[in-house]
Amino acid sequence: MSEREMEEIKKLLKKSLPAMGDVELRRDLWPAMQQRLAQASVHVPWWDWALLASAGVAMWLFPATIPALLYHL
Amino acid sequence: MNKHPYIRAYLAGIAVPTVFLLVVMSAYTTIRHVSEVPLPIERVIVFPMAVVPNAWGLWNVLYVAFLERRHIPLGLFGGALLLLLVPGGYVVTRLLNFDIPHVVLVAAPFNLPIALIVYYLVWKHIVGFLNAELGIS
């Protein structure tokens, strides 16, 4: 590619990409980020609670399962 | 936090059984030596002490290396580990001539589903949380 072609490509690129005007943020994003972090909570679906409850009930009914479980944990 | 993802996956995997082992061993030592319960579990303790935590760590490495990008649920994959550990644990008890207490054998049909639920929940929520905290998922 010749020097002239390179210059032409540069000009075309500059023409096709509009210059960015105002690049400053209109507002501070950090407080919103902090708020979102504070709201972050662990979401446990209902079927996981149901599974946990069923496992708890089963262990209560059959306590002999607990040593076997602990052996594999 | 892009360095050594497999080491972090291994550490996240071994964390849960390692902490549980501490609790279980403390309880067992108290029961065995204070209450003098005749159950010589120290003969087979090598399985939960050495095999299980390493299996968890390596299982998590496998997940991070091959399966996470295929969107396979971590809970289901973790539950599948139990299907390897149960026969492994049984073989260890047989090799070391450890007599499984009768009450545990009677409850055997209920053991697998309960253990599968516990494994599923622990892998999904605790190991998943640790993976996220360590930046590997």
Closest CA to A73 of B5, B31, B117: B117
Structural domain including A68 reads 46-73
Q: Check B48 against A72: CB less than 8 A apart.
A: yes
At B54 the pLDDT is 93
E strand or H helix that includes residue A11: helix A3-16
Q: Which two tokens stand for residue B135?
A: 């930046």
Full domain range(s) for residue B91:
5-133
pLDDT at A40: 66
**Number of domains making up chain A:** 1
pLDDT band at B1 (very low <50, low <70, confident <90, very high): low
ipTM for the predicted complex:
0.71
| pLDDT at residue A55 is higher than 80 | yes
Place of tokens 């055997």: B108
CA distance B92 to A40: 44
Shortest Cα distance, chain A CAs vs residue B110, angstroms: 7
Query: Which of B82, B86, B114 is the closest to A55 by Cβ?
Result: B114
> How far is residue A63 CA from its own chain's centroid?
40
B54, two tokens: 């390493």
The pLDDT mean for chain B works out to 85
Q: Tens digit of pLDDT for each residue in B37-91?
A: 666 777 777 777 788 899 999 999 999 998 878 888 999 999 999 999 888 888 8
Q: Is A4 within a domain?
A: no
Query: Closest Cα of chain A to B68: distance in Å?
Result: 20
Number of domains making up chain B: 1
Model pTM score = 0.73
In terms of Cβ atoms closer than 10 Å to its own Cβ (0-12, 13-18, 19+), residue B49 is middle
Task: Return phi, psi of residue A68, to 5°.
Answer: -65, -40
Helix (H, G, I), strand (E, B) or coil at B73: coil
Q: Which of B89, B58, B78 is nearest to B125 (CA)?
A: B78
